[in-house]
Structure 1
Amino acid sequence: MSDTTARALALLNLLQTHRHWPGTELASRLGVTERTVRRDVDRLRELGYRVESTPGSAGGYRLEAGSAVPPLLLTDDEAVTMAIGLRVAATQQLVGGAEVTLTALAKLEQVLPSALRQRVNALAAAVQPPRIGAGPVVSPVVIGEIALATRDHERLRLRYVDGQGEESVRRVEPHALAPAGRKWFLLCWDLDREDWRTFRVDRITSVEHTRVLFARRELSAQEIEERVLIAASWSPQKIETDAVMELPLAEMQERFGPWGQGATAEGPDRTRWPFGGADWREAMYGLLWIPAGVEYTTSFPEPHRAELREAVERLLRALDAPTPASSADS
């Protein structure tokens, strides 16, 4: 780094620490003349910093907000604090802010020196933020590493523990991180299975960077959202049941798309499809996916089966009843 650049950065650091600096004080602290300070202020202005100056014996310089965000100069402690804050924020359910949080986290983590990254990891592990809802704990270290690789299109090697407690090593191309309900999910291309997979981030125990880049596969925002919602629906539910429909497996999978995950053939012309929900209303929604005209049976459990039957019978009576007159017709 040249003396001029180092001095300009030192000047920027001083301007960021106080609202107003007399020109003489800045010159004294930097060990230069006031004329040199004026030249360094001009360099900062060229970089996008809005440095205002006031003339006279009481005049000086101050850093003001501009029309765009210029590069920031952070001390080590400030950088660590910001990285921890972003990691904690990324593990919460931020309405509409998840993508922005992860983007900011990836940018900051990319430039953190190794020593500062170690400090962030150690401190973040000790921070226990108040959680929103009762979702599983997500490692801020893991989510930070995945955010970096997702942005940089870098292949990862993950250690993953499934719902049955079985650990496996997965080689993936990370595509998107997204929250659903009270959980975080990683949508990625599984290199060994040659297909899309969605993993719960709280079940990823370690992340290994491979430094191998990949060409990003195209998925629309709607497809990403749908696959994450499907993965969320596959988490253990209060009601877990299935339906056997009069439809060959291949035809069922074609009609259901990604929502047909877990379906198995029950002979050449029938398919068993598992579904569920937090209550009988959510589980009933799964039955509405079965195409019109396709007969099926279901193992809907009691007492939810009786609750569903009562609701359906009441709905049928409402549909068969005359349309109620509106108040305007009275």
Structure 2
Amino acid sequence: MADTSARILRLLSLLQARVEWRGADLADRLDVSARTLRRDVGTLRELGYPVNAVMGAGGGYRLGAGGRLPPLVLDDDQAIAIALALQTAPATVAGIVDAVGRALTTLRQVMPARLRAASEAFDVTLLRNYWEFSAEPVDVGTLRTVGAAIRTARVLRFDHHAGDGVAPDAGPPRDVEPHHLVVWAGRWYLIARDLPGRRWHTYRVDRIRPHTPGGGAVFTPQPLTRDDLTRLVVQNPDRGDTPGQWQCVGSAILDLPAAVTARWAPGGSVVEPVGAGRSRLTVGGWSWAGIAGLLITFDTGLSDVEPPELRAAMRQISRRLDDATAPAR
């Protein structure tokens, strides 16, 4: 009986993991005959789970909507994956740290002893890397409002705050059609199309202050590909970033187009187009040598380096490299 119950739970987990299964594939995954699979599906139906038959070559099954479904059914690998993800979740959203901890505790409480021991083997201590250029955490209420406007395809009205201060930009509130939330380099971005000009814009979510949680008029979403999102966020020098609060902030003109520089610049840096095929990168760091090293990784021509402390660090690095590559005496 225990083996049968475990198999039925495994069947339910598989049905939840995919929109549609071929009957033969399910039987193979469960290592049972087609007859036993039909009997197990019948058992799930008797328990109130809406398992629908799929017509076609070979036949199949699909888990329908509704019914007396449990909040969550996980197999061993899924449970461990969620526990690990909760432990390593980046603190990019304000107000959820306690919730993440409670979720991890709840998950471990309902795990069998063997899985609980396995998940605790992955206890993680996160240490900050100096090369992380994190932003201020996003307000969870703002994230909910923006996400709801995207999900319901409703116009979003908000004040936009320049920089990392609290004062809004001059001018009226923004009215946009919100399409996507994108997380990149520790920052949350909203991809939206403004109503007056119907142009695409990229907004830092931590600088958005929504007006109405319910949203405005309904709009028809415009499909965007992954390449579109990359162009609007990763390769976009006008994505609203500003240098982080570092003890050293420097800049240089790179012999690269702004889109290329933006693609590889760390979060919290600023990229500005400077003529054809050139761009200025402004970035912060814990030392002038650190900023110099970051600029060197672009492997391109550099000019107009500021401030003098950064130029001095580059000269010092150059002398060290000359010494390191000099012929042995």
TM-score category, normalised to shorter length: 0.3 to 0.5
Normalised by the length of structure 2, the TM-score is 0.47
* Larger helix percent: 1
Which has more radius of gyration? Answer: 1
Normalised by the length of structure 1, the TM-score is 0.47
